[in-house]
Amino acid sequence: MGSSCSRPHSLNEADAAENTRSADIDRRILQETKAEQHIHKLLLLGAGESGKSTIFKQIKLLFQTGFDEAELRSYTSVIHANVYQTVKILYEGAKELAQVEPDSSKYVLSPDSQEIGEKLSEISARLEYPFLNKELVEDVRKLWQDPAIQETYSRGSILQVPDCAQYFMENLDRLAELDYVPTKEDVLHARVRTNGVVETQFSPLGESKRGGEVYRLYDVGGQRNERRKWIHLFEGVDAVIFCAAISEYDQMLFEDETKNRMMETKELFDWVLKQRCFEKTSFMLFLNKFDIFERKVQKVPLSVCEWFKDYQPTAPGKQEVEHAYEFVKKKFEELYFQSSKPDRVDRVFKIYRTTALDQKLVKKTFKLIDESMRRSREGT
C-alpha cells in the first residue's frame, strides 16, 4: 500500500428527477439548502466482510427514501445466489472434512443428500443461477437438514460460510414464491461484494428536514485487490469510519486462507491511522457484528487469535461477553494511540459497538457521530 495522497476521485451523481411540479420545487429547495452548507466527507473503510456494505444500505433506509419495489426486486437474484453459494460451500466443505478430520463419519452425507449435493453444486458452478422454485427449495432444505451438513455448518468459521446462511435457510419457502419481492430485512442480509467506489449523500435528520448537517459517504471494496482505489479518496476527508468485524477473530481471509481476519484488520487499521492525509481527520471506529460476537465468544475463546492471546476469561454468560468486548475495545484503543503521532492524538476518536443489521442501533450511532462532529467543529 502506498502512503502518498492524490487528488480526490471525481464521481458522477445520479440526479433522480421527480414527476410532479411540487416534488420538483421541494427538491430544488433541498438542493439550494445543501449548496449553502458545507458537505462533510465521510470515508467508510474496513477489510472485506466487515459489514460496510450493510451500513451503507442502512443509510439509504434510515436517512433517504429507502428502496423502491424495482430496487428490492433487483436483489432477488443476489439472494438466490447467496443460497446456492452457501449450499456449495457446505457440500464441498463436508467432503473435505470427511477426508481430513479424525472423526470423519460425522461429515459423511446420506446417499440422497449426496445426490442432491452434486446437483446443487453443479447449478452453483454456473455463471447464471436459475431462480429458486419449490422443487429446488425442497432439495436445498433436505441438504441443509442433513446431520453432516449441520455438523459442517458448525465449522463455518474455517469454511467461509457467509453470515446470511442461517437467515436465508430459515426463509426458503418465502424466497421461492412466484411473486417474491425481497423485504428490507432480506436486502440487509444479502451479501454482495463492493467493487469500485459507491457514494451517497444524506443528513441524519433525514431528507425531508432542512437545516441539518449534510454528509457524503464513500464506500469502497474491502478486499485486498480493491484497496488500491482507496488512496484516490483520502484528501479532504472530515471523518474516517472504520469497520472492524469483531466476530471474525477465529476466521481466515476470503482471499488468503492463511491469514487471520482480525490480524488483517489490525494491520489495516494501523496503516490507515498513519496516513499523512488524516493528521487532523476524525476517526469513528465501528466494532461491528457484535450480535455474532456475543454468541461466538461463549464458545470460541478470544485467545485463538494471536492479537488476543493474553486474554483471560471470567465467568460465563453475559458477564463474559462484556468482559471480552471490553478487552477487544482496549486493544483497538491501544493500537490507536500507538499508531498516532503526538500531534495527532487530539483528533476526534470515538468507538461504537455496532450491529449493522440493527436499524435502531445504526440510526443512534450516526446521530452520535453527527453530534460529535458538530461539537468538534464548534470547539466544545
Q: Burial of 91 by CB count in 10 Å (0-12 exposed, 13-18 middle, 19+ buried)? A: buried
Of 186, 247, 175, 181, residue with least CA distance to 57? 186
Q: Is 76 among the residues known to form the active site?
A: no
Q: Is 223 among the residues known to form the active site?
A: yes
- What pTM was estimated for this model as a whole? 0.85
One pLDDT digit (tens) per residue for the chain, 380 residues: 444 443 333 333 333 333 333 344 344 434 544 444 578 999 999 998 999 999 999 999 999 989 999 999 999 999 999 999 999 999 999 999 999 988 889 999 999 999 999 999 999 888 888 999 999 999 999 999 999 999 999 998 889 899 999 999 999 999 999 999 999 999 999 998 877 788 999 998 765 555 568 999 999 887 777 777 787 888 899 999 999 999 999 999 888 888 999 999 999 999 999 988 898 899 999 999 999 999 999 999 999 999 999 999 887 778 899 999 999 999 999 999 998 877 666 688 999 999 999 999 999 999 999 998 888 777 65
211 annotated ligand binder: no
For residue 46, the cross-strand partners are 243
> Taking the CB of residue 144, how many other CB atoms lie within 10 A of it?
22
Exposure b/e, 64-73, CB count within 10 A at least 16 = b:
eeebeeeebe
Beta strand 282-288 with 197-202 is unpaired
Phi and psi of 356, rounded to 5°?
-60, -25
Q: Is 201 among the residues known to form the active site?
A: no
Active-site residue, from 186, 191, 264, 265 = 191
Beta strand 197-202 with 349-353 is unpaired
67 annotated ligand binder: no
Secondary structure class of 195 (helix, strand, coil):
coil
Torsion of CA 87, 90, 91, 92, to 10 degrees: 120
Active-site residue, from 146, 213, 219, 294 = 219
288 annotated ligand binder: yes
Phi and psi of 125, rounded to 5°?
-85, -10
Q: Is 281 among the residues known to form the active site?
A: no
14 annotated ligand binder: no
220 annotated ligand binder: yes
290 annotated ligand binder: yes
Domains in the chain, CATH or no CATH each? 42-67+194-370 (3.40.50.300), 69-189 (1.10.400.10)
Active-site residue, from 201, 223, 298, 359 = 223
Beta strand 239-245 with 282-288 is parallel
Q: Is 224 among the residues known to form the active site?
A: no
Active-site residue, from 54, 86, 251, 365 = 54
289 annotated ligand binder: yes
Of 194, 275, 284, 283, residue with least CA distance to 232? 275
